[in-house]
Amino acid sequence: MLPIDAAAHSSRWRRRHPVDKAVLGLGLTVLAISLPPWPGAALVLVTSLAVLLGPAGVPARRLWRAYRVPLGFCVTGALTLLVQVGGPDGFVSLADEGPLRAGELLLRTSAASLGVLLFAFTTPMSDLLPRLVKAGVPAPVVDVALVTYRMSFLLLDSVRRIRQAQAARLGHTSRAAEWRSLAGLGATAFVRAFDRATRLQAGLAGRGYDGTLRVLVPEARVSVRFTAASCGLLAALAALTLVLERALP
């Protein structure tokens, strides 16, 4: 299982309905990209961190391991805003407003990422996917997504083991060997995926498979109190941003 999904399964908010967590987490993300980066995104960033480490109970180390991935992309992307092409100072020169634009972009992306991480760290995929049918996603697409999700872990595990076996047979000692090993890895993943699908099909056919995958979904109800509190928090953040924007330089 992947670390974020594993954390979601043992989350304090695991039993909450995904809608509750979507309103809060994705609401924070929407606020982060719609409000002015300063002070709006900064406020969202602090609030998201406080909710993640506080009430949601996400371990700080796990959060950092997941957060550093998008943060790396944000920093790399923001660096390009520091320079401009053409102009009186030469073909490539430092942009006047570059640091400001890069800083604003960093604030916006890092705050938005935390909002999605709040949702991802508290909502296992297995709780979310079956409920997408009620949200209007066609059942066949949800079924394909469910099989994809469950088979991904098995395939990732197979790939890890094949890599270990290849390394033990000196499959990564030279560039040519590495290419051969990688190609073998891709082809074996394909063969294993189709083999598993065929065996799964045979097993399901023996159990009267009629084209729909029925799975048990843990019962949960949308909490009016939680959702109202989340909406209140989001409204307060938006209002505070508007007030501070006038007061701050």
Partner 1 sequence: MHIAEGFLPPAHAVAWGVASAPFVVHGVRSLTREVKEHPESTLLLGASGAFTFVLSALKLPSVTGSCSHPTGTGLGAILFRPPIMVVLGTITLLFQALLLAHGGLTTLGANVFSMAIVGPWAGYAIYKLLRRFDVPLMVAVFFGAFLADLSTYCVTSVQLALAFPDPSSGFLGALGKFGSIFAVTQIPLAVSEGLLTVLVMRLLVQSSKGELTRLGVLLAKKQSRTETETEAVAR
> Among residue numbers 120 through 179, which ones bind partner 1 (CB under 8 A)?
120, 125, 138, 140-141, 143-152, 154-156, 159, 175, 178-179
Strands 83-85 and 92-94: antiparallel
Q: Which is nearer to partner 1, 53 or 228 (CB)?
A: 53
- Asked whether position 2 contacts partner 1 by CB under 8 A, the answer is yes
Please, what is the minimum distance in Å from the beta carbon of residue 169 to partner 1? 16
| Alpha-carbon gap, residue 135 to 141, rounded angstroms | 12
Please, what is the minimum distance in Å from the beta carbon of residue 217 to partner 1? 17
Q: Where are the beta strands (DSSP E) in 80-227?
A: 83-85, 92-94
Residue selected from 36, 57, 177, 200 as contacting partner 1 according to rule CB under 8 A: 200
- Asked whether position 190 contacts partner 1 by CB under 8 A, the answer is yes
- Asked whether position 29 contacts partner 1 by CB under 8 A, the answer is yes
Q: Which is nearer to partner 1, 119 or 227 (CB)?
A: 119
Q: Would you say 144 and 133 are in contact if contact means Cβ atoms under 8 Å apart?
A: no
**61-100: which residues touch partner 1 (CB under 8 A)?**
66-67, 69-70, 73-74, 77, 80-81, 83-87, 95-98
Query: Site map for partner 1, 206-245, x if CB under 8 A?
Result: ---xxx-x--------------------------------
Please, what is the minimum distance in Å from the beta carbon of residue 47 to partner 1? 15
> Integer distance in angstroms from the first to the last C-alpha of the chain?
47
Task: Calculate the alpha carbon distances from 166 to 56, 124, 160, 202 in Å.
Answer: 41, 33, 10, 31
Q: Which one of the spans 48-56, 104-112, 226-234, 236-244 is the region binding partner 1 (CB under 8 A)?
A: 104-112
Q: Where are the beta strands (DSSP E) in 68-121?
A: 83-85, 92-94
Please, what is the minimum distance in Å from the beta carbon of residue 202 to partner 1? 10
| Alpha-carbon gap, residue 135 to 239, rounded angstroms | 30
Residue among 243, 248, 241 at smallest CA distance from 34 = 241
| Alpha-carbon gap, residue 138 to 143, rounded angstroms | 9
Please, what is the minimum distance in Å from the beta carbon of residue 17 to partner 1? 17
DSSP 56: T
